[in-house]
A and B are shown apart, each in its own frame.
Chain A
Amino acid sequence: MLSVLIWIPILSAIFIGFWPSSPNQTSRIRLVALTVAGIVLLWNVFILLKFDISNPGMQFQEYLPWNDTLGLSYQLGVDGLSILMLILNSLLTWIAIYSSSKQTERPRLFYSMILLVSGGVAGAFLAENLLLFFLFYELELIPFYLLISIWGGEKRAYAGIKFLIYTAVSGALILATFLGMVWLTGSTSFAFDAVSTQNLSAGLQFTLLVGIILGFGIKIPLVPFHTWLPDAYVEASAPIAILLGGVLAKLGTYGLLRFGLGMFPQAWSVVAPTLAIWGAISAIYGAVIAIAQKDIKRMVAYSSIGHMGYVLLASAASTSLALVGAVSQMFSHGLILAILFHLVGVIEEKVGTRELDKLNGLMSPIRGLPLISALLVLSGMASAGIPGLTGFIAEFIVFQGSFAAFPLPTLLCVASSGLTAVYFVILLNRTCFGRLDNKQAYYPKVLWSEKTPALILATLIIFLGVQPTWLVRWSEPTTTAMVAAIPPVEKTVISLLNQE
C-alpha cells in the first residue's frame, strides 16, 4: 500500500525520461506528470483516511528481504511523525508541477526529475531501515542539483554546486553515524527496531548524536551551516523552490526527530538546552538577516531559516505538546513557504523584478496584481503568526510546549516571531502598497491557472487555522509515545555518570 507512493512516481519518472521526443511535447508531458502526481496525492489522502489515529506505532507496514549481507531490507511503515510529511510531499509535488510553466525547456528531464524527487522523499519518510532511509536521502542529491542548475536563475551554476557539496557532506556525516550506530550496538541489521543505542556509553552516545545533529543540521539548515540555502532557494525556479523549501527541509527536521530524539533519548535530554539556544539563535538570525534583504525571494528564504529554528526549539523541549507543535510547524511551514514562493514566482514573472526598490503598488485593482497581492498579504500574515491562520497555531503550540522547559529561548523565539512580522510588513509595504510606476506598469494578466495553486494553499492555511484539530490530531499519540521514552533529565545525567 505504501509502496505505491514511492514506485508510481519513480516508475513514471523513468517512463517520462524515455518518452520519444516530439514537437509540442511539453504540455503533454506536463499533463502526464500532473496526472501521476494527482493519483499519488489521492492515494495519500486515502491512506490518511485509513490511518488509525489512536495507534502510536507504525502502520501499513511492508517488509521484503533485500540484502542480508548489508543488513538492508525493504521495510516501510508510517506513523504520526511521517503521515503529515507524506501528504505535504505529494501535495507540494502536485502544486510544483501545476505551477511549472507550460513552456518549460527540456520537459522530459524536468518532470522526470521532479517525480524522482517526489518518490525519493516519500521513500525517506517511509523507510524503517537506516540504510534504506539513507539510500532515499541520497537519491535527492543529483535530481535537485540538476533542477537547480538547469532551470534556475542567473547564478544557478554556483548555487547548484554549493547545494550539492553541502548535501553530500551531510550525507557522508549521516552515513558515518548510521554505520557507527549499527556496528557499535552489535546489531546485524539496519532496521529501526534492531538498533538500540541505550546500552552504549555516554561518550559514544554523544558522539553519534552530534553526528546526527550536524548531518541533518546542514539540511534543515541550522545557522552556521545554512549558507547554501539562500543561494539555492533564490536561484531555483519557483516550482523547485517550493519543493526545496517545502519538502527537503522537512527531511532534515524529520531525521532529527526520528533518529536524534527517537534513538538517543538519553543523550538528547542532555544536549537539549544547547539545542534550544541554538534554535533561538537560528530564529533571531533568520529574522534579522531577512530584514536587511532587498530581494523578496531572499527574504522568504531567510524566513525559512527562522521558522525552522522553532522546530529545533520544540524538538529540544520534547514535551508532548512541543513535539506536536514541531510536527505542526513543519507542516504549516511547508504550506506557507510553498504559497510564498509561488506568489513570488508569479510576481517575478509578471513584473520582471524581485527587488524591493523597484516593486510598488501591486495592490492597485485594475493595473496591478490585486488578487496575488491579497494572497501575499495573507501568507505574510500566516508566516508572521497572526491568529486565524495555521502559522499561529503551530507557533503557539511550540511556544506553549517549550516555555516550561526553556523559558529564555522560548521568549527569544517569540521575539523573533515579532521580527518576522517586521520584515513581512516591510515586504508588503514595498510591494503591495504605494503607487504604480506609470511608465512600466503594463503587466500581463494573471491567468486562472496561475492563481489556482495559491488559492488551494490559502484555503488550507485558513482552514487549518480555524480548525486546528485537523492539524494536530495525527501526530499526538506518536509524539506522546516518543516523550514517554525520554527519561527525566536529572535521572539521565546520573545514570550516564554512573556508567562512566
Chain B
Amino acid sequence: MDFANLAAQLNAGTILPEGIVIVTLMGVLIVDLILGRTSSRWIGYLAIAGLLAAVVALYFQWDAINPISFTGGFIGDDLSIIFRGIIALSAVTTILMSIRYIEQSGTALAEFIAILLSATLGGMFLSGASELVMIFISLETLSISSYLLTGYTKRDPRSNEAALKYLLIGASSTAVFLYGVSLLYGLSGGQTELSAIANGIVAANLGQSLGVVIALVFVIAGIGFKISAAPFHQWTPDVYEGAPTPVIAFLSVGSKAAGFALAIRLLTTVFPFVAEEWKFVFTALAVLSMILGNVVALAQTSMKRMLAYSSIAQAGFVMIGLIAGTDAGYASMVFYLLVYLFMNLCAFTCIILFSLRTGTDQIAEYSGLYQKDPLLTLGLSISLLSLGGIPPLAGFFGKIYLFWAGWQAGLYWMVLLGLVTSVVSIYYYIRVVKMMVVKEPQEMSDAVKNYPEIRWDLPGFRPLQVGLVVTLIATSVAGILSNPLFTLANNSVANTAILQTTKVVSTQVSAIPPEKPEGL
C-alpha cells in the first residue's frame, strides 16, 4: 500500500476537532508545568478557546463527502458531529463553572481541566467510533477520566466515597460490556468493524441465536450504565451527591450524550436483526427509569440528589425516541439532548453559584432566595420549569417532539406513561421554585439570611455569570425559535448513512420472524 492510498484511507482530517482538543489538553498541561499556579488565572480560557475552536471545526465538517476515516474505525457523519458538538459544548460550560469552584476547593485547576478535556476527548471519539476496539478505548478514556474527576476533591470524604462507588460499578459494567463485545467478535467470525460484524453474523446464519441475544444484553448493560437507565442507575444519586458539582454537570450532559451516541450507533448497526429484542429491553429500561426517576425524586431533600433522579427520569424520556426507531425518533432524541444541554447546565450553574455563596445545597435552604438573589432565582426557576416541560420553554418543545415521535411510531402506552410521569415531575421541580419564590421574607432560611452581597467581580465569578446568562437565554428562547435546531436535528438524522441503510436491513429482516410482540 503506497503512502497516498494509505493517507486517503486514514482520512485523518475527520478528527480535526479532536486534534484541536488534544493540542489544547497538551497546552494546558505544559503551561501548568512551566508556569505553575500563576497560570490558573487564564488557563481556563485557553481550554475554552480550544473547545470552541473544535466546535468551529465540527461546523466545517458538516455534510463531509467522505466521513469514513481510519479504515472504518471512525465515522465522522452528521450524527457523530452533532453529538461531538454537544459533548464539547457541555465541556465548555463545565469549565466556566469550575474555574471558581475548583479554586475554592484548594486544588489545582489545570489538572482538573486536563482530566476534563480527556473525558471530553473520550466522549467525542465515542460518538463517531465504529469499531469495537475503538469504542472500548474511547469508552474507557471517558470512564477513567470520570472516576478521577469524581474523586478530585480528595479531602472530602463524600467525594472519595463517590469515586470508589463509581469506579467499582463502572469497572464491572465495562467488563460486562467487554464480554459482550468479545462475544460479538467471536460470533461474527473475527470482525471488529460494526457493519462487518452485522454482515458476519448474517453470513454465519446466527441472526437471532442465543449468542447474539447474550451479546446484546451485555452491551446494553454497559450502555445503560452510561445513560444511567434504571436498573443500572444505582451509582447516579450517590455520585451526583458526592462529586464536585461541575463534574456532575458534565456527567449529566456530556457523558450521557456519549452514551446515547454509542447506543444509536451500536444498536442500529450491529443488531438490526434483533431490533424487536433491543427495543423490548429498552422499553423496560425506559418504563423503569421514568417511573423510578420521577417518583423517587419526589422524596429528595438535597438539590444534587434530586437532579440525579431527575436525570434518570430524563434519560427515560429520551429512550422513547430510541425505541421509536424512526427518523423522527432519532431526531427527537438529538433535539432533546440539545435542549437538555441548556437546561441542565443552567440549573447546575445556579446550584454551583448558590453553594459557592452559602456552602450548602439542601433544597430547604433555598427558601426565600428571590429577595437576595433575583438572577439566580430566575435562572433556576426557568431551567427547572423547562426540565418539567412547561411552555414556552425549550424543554416543552423537546418533550412534545419526543412524544409526537413516539406516538407516530405507535408507542401509545409509552407516551401516556411519559405524560403521567411529566406531571409527577412538575411537582418536584415546582417544589424548588416554591422554596425560592413563594416563601415569605420571614420564612427565609439561615443560609439566605446570611447571604453575602452579590459581587460578580470576584475572581472566577464572571465566567459563571456568562455561563448562567447564556444558558438561561438559550433555555428561554430555544423553544420559540426552535426551527434551526429542529432542522439541525432532522438533517443530522437524514444525512447519516447508518440510520438510513440499517432501516432497510431491519425492515427486511424483521419481516422474517414469525411473531412480533404486540404494541412495541
Interface residues of A (CB under 8 A from B): 66-67, 69-70, 109, 131, 134-136, 138-139, 141-142, 145-146, 149-150, 157, 160-161, 164-165, 168-169, 171-172, 175-176, 179-180, 183
Contact present for B401 and A69 (CB under 8 Å):
yes
Residue of A nearest to B434 (CB): A149
Contact among A66, A109, A131, A149 with B400 in the assembled complex (CB-CB below 8 Å): A131
* Most chain B CB neighbours (cut-off 10 Å) among A109, A157, A183: A183
State in angstroms the CA–CA spacing of A164 and B420 once bound together.
14
- Evaluate contact between B430 and A135: CB separation under 8 angstroms: no
Are B430 and A176 within 8 A (Cβ)? no
Say how far B160's CB is from chain A's closest CB, in angstroms. 39
Whether the Cβ atoms of A169 and B404 lie closer than 8 Å is no
Question: Does B391 count as interface, using CB distance less than 8 angstroms?
Answer: yes
Contact between chains at B486 and A172 (CB < 8 Å): no
Residue of B whose beta carbon sits closest to that of A21? B374
Residue of A nearest to B392 (CB): A135
- The stretch that binds A, out of B249-257, B421-429, B444-452, is B421-429
Q: Is the CB of B392 within 8 A of A172?
A: no
Is A172 in contact with B407, judged by CB distance below 8 angstroms? no
Q: Are B404 and A164 neighbours in the complex by a CB distance under 8 Å?
A: no
From B480, which residue of chain A is reached at the shortest CB distance?
A: A66
Q: A149-B438, A172-B422 are in contact. Are A179 and B415 (CB under 8 A)?
A: yes
When C-beta atoms are compared, the residue in chain B nearest to A168 turns out to be B423
Residues of A contacting B434 in the complex (Cβ-Cβ under 8 angstroms): 149, 157, 161
Residues B239-268 near A (CB distance < 8 A):
none
Closest approach, in angstroms, between the C-beta of B394 and any C-beta of chain A? 13
Q: With an 8 A cutoff between CB atoms, is B482 at the interface?
A: yes
Tell me, in angstroms, the Cα distance from A134 to B427 when the chains sit together: 20
Task: Determine the distance from Cα of A70 to Cα of B407 in the docked complex, in whole angstroms.
Answer: 12
Residues of B with C-beta under 8 A to A141: 390, 426
Verify if B396 is at the interface (C-beta below 8 Å from A).
yes
Q: Is the CB of A176 within 8 A of B416?
A: yes
B490 contacts A by Cβ under 8 Å: yes
A358 to B401, CA, bound (A): 55
Cβ contact within 8 Å between A165 and B427: yes
Nearest CB in chain B: distance from A195 CB, A = 14
B83 part of interface (Cβ distance < 8 Å):
no
Chain B: which residue is nearest A131 at the CB level? B400
B437 cross-chain contacts in A, Cβ below 8 A: 109, 146, 150
Pick from A69, A146, A165: contact of B423, CB under 8 Å: A165
Interface residues of B (CB under 8 A from A): 328, 331, 385, 390-392, 396-397, 400-401, 403-404, 407-408, 412, 415-416, 419-420, 422-423, 426-427, 430, 433-434, 437-438, 482-483, 486, 490
A141-B390, A150-B438, A183-B407 in contact; A164/B430 too (CB < 8 A)? yes
Residue from A67, A131, A138, A169 within 8 A of B482 (CB atoms): A67
Q: Which of A69, A165, A179 has the most CB of B within 10 A?
A: A69
12 contacts between A and B (CB under 8 A): A67-B397, A70-B397, A135-B392, A142-B433, A149-B434, A160-B438, A164-B430, A165-B426, A165-B427, A168-B422, A175-B400, A176-B415
Q: With the chains together, A179 CA to B402 CA distance in Å?
A: 12
Residue of A nearest to B403 (CB): A179
Assuming A149-B434, A157-B438, A179-B407, is B423 touching A70 (CB within 8 A)?
A: no
Q: In the complex, which of the residues A109, A149, A168 has the most CB atoms of chain B within 10 Å of its own CB atom?
A: A168
Minimum C-beta distance from A205 to chain B (A): 16
Known A142-B385, A157-B438: A70·B404 in contact at CB below 8 Å: yes
Nearest-neighbour CB distance to chain A for B484, whole angstroms, equals 11
Q: A69-B490, A135-B396, A164-B427 are in contact. List 15 more A-B contacts (CB 8 A).
A: A134-B391, A136-B391, A138-B390, A138-B396, A141-B426, A157-B438, A160-B438, A161-B427, A164-B430, A168-B422, A169-B423, A171-B423, A172-B419, A172-B422, A180-B407
Whole-angstrom distance between the Cβ of A154 and the nearest chain B Cβ: 13
A212 to B483, CA, bound (A): 29
Q: How many A-B residue pairs have CB under 8 A?
A: 75
Residues of chain A within 8 A of B416, CB atoms compared: 176
Output the residue of B397, B430, B486 with the most chain A CB within 10 A: B430
| B433 proximity list for chain A (CB < 8 A) | 142
**A175 and B403 contacting across the interface, CB-CB below 8 Å:** yes
| Majority-rule SS of A interface residues | helix
- Point out the residue from B400, B420, B430, B438 that lies within 8 Å of A70, measured CB to CB: B400
CB distance from B58 to the nearest CB of A (A): 23
**Neighbouring B residues of A146 by C-beta, 8 Å:** 437-438
Q: A67-B483, A149-B438 are in contact. Are A172 and B420 (CB under 8 A)?
A: yes
Task: Please provide the 7 A-B residue pairs with the shortest distance between their CB atoms, ordered closest to farther.
Answer: A172-B419, A168-B423, A135-B391, A179-B407, A69-B486, A138-B391, A149-B438
Q: Provide the bound-state CA to CA distance between A139 and B416, in Å.
A: 21
Q: Which of B392, B416, B422, B426 has the most CB of A within 10 A?
A: B426
Closest to B421 in A: A172
Q: Bound complex: CA of A134 vs CA of B438, how far in Å?
A: 26
Query: With a CB–CB cut-off of 8 A, which chain A residues contact B408?
Result: 183
Q: How distant is the Cα of A228 from the Cα of B430 in the complex, in angstroms?
A: 18
Provide the bound-state CA to CA distance between A66 and B392, in Å: 13
CB neighbours of B422 from chain A (8 A): 168, 172
How far is the CB of B145 from the nearest CB of chain A, in Å? 36
Query: Which chain B residue lies CB-closest to A10?
Result: B392
Kindly provide the distance from the CB of B430 to the nearest chain A CB, expressed in whole angstroms. 6
Question: What residues of chain B lie closer than 8 Å to A169, measured between beta carbons?
Answer: 423
Query: Which of the residues B392, B438, B482, B483 comes within 8 Å of A139, measured between beta carbons?
Result: B392
Q: Identify the closest chain A residue to B410 (Cβ).
A: A183
* Chain B residues, Cβ within 8 Å of A157: 434, 438
| Shortest Cβ distance from residue B478 to the other chain A in the assembled complex, whole angstroms | 12
**In the complex, what residue of chain B is closest to A171 when comparing beta carbons?**
B423
Residues in A whose Cβ lies below 8 Å from that of B419: 172, 175-176
With both beta carbons as reference points, the residue of chain A lying nearest to B437 in the complex is identified as: A146
- CB-based contact A142/B401 at 8 Å: no
Please state if A66 and B426 are interface contacts (CB–CB under 8 Å): no
Residues of the B chain whose Cβ atoms lie less than 8 Å from the Cβ of A171? 423
Which residues from A are CB-within-8-Å of B483? 66-67
Q: Of B385, B423, B438, which contacts A172 at CB under 8 A?
A: B423
Tell me, rounded to whole Å, the shortest Cβ–Cβ distance linking A74 to chain B. Answer: 10
* CB-defined contacts of A183 to chain B, threshold 8 Å: 407-408
**B485 CB → nearest A CB, Å:** 10
| Cβ-defined contact, B390 with A142, below 8 A | yes
The distance from the CB of B333 to the nearest CB of chain A, in whole angstroms, is 14
- Residues of chain B contacted by A69 (CB below 8 angstroms): 328, 331, 401, 486, 490
Distance between Cα atoms of A429 and B434 in the complex (Å)? 41
Find the B residue at minimum CB distance from A65: B483
A135 to B400, CA, bound (A): 10
Complex alpha-carbon distance, A157 and B439, angstroms: 10
Q: How far is the CB of B434 from chain A (nearest CB, A)?
A: 7
Using Cβ atoms and an 8 Å threshold, which residues of chain A touch B328?
A: 69
Q: Which of A70, A109, A165 gathers the greatest number of chain B CB atoms within 10 Å?
A: A70
| Complex interface: chain B residues within 8 A of A138 (CB) | 390-391, 396
Q: Residues of A contacting B401 with CB < 8 Å? A: 69-70
Query: What B residues does A142 contact at CB under 8 A?
Result: 385, 390, 430, 433
**Assembled-state Cα–Cα distance A67/B407 (Å):** 18
Measured between C-beta atoms, what is the minimum distance from B390 to chain A in Å?
Answer: 6
Complex CA distance for A180 and B331, rounded to whole angstroms: 20
Q: How far is the CA of A179 from the CA of B414 in the complex (A)?
A: 13
Residue of A whose beta carbon sits closest to that of B407: A179
A164 touches B426 (CB 8 A): yes
Complex Cα distance A69/B433, Å?
32
Chain A CB within 10 Å, residue with most, of B331, B438, B490? B438
Q: In the complex the two chains form, what is the Cα distance from A164 to B504 in whole Å?
A: 46
Most A C-beta atoms less than 10 A away, residue of B385, B419, B427: B419
Shortest C-beta distance, B246 to chain A (Å), equals 29
A175 neighbours in B (Cβ, 8 Å)? 400, 403, 419
B residues in contact with A70, CB < 8 Å = 397, 400-401, 404, 486
B159 to chain A, nearest CB (A): 35
CB within 8 Å for A179 and B482 given contacts A138-B390, A150-B437:
no
A136 contact set on B, CB distance < 8 A: 391
Residues of chain B within 8 A of A134, CB atoms compared: 391
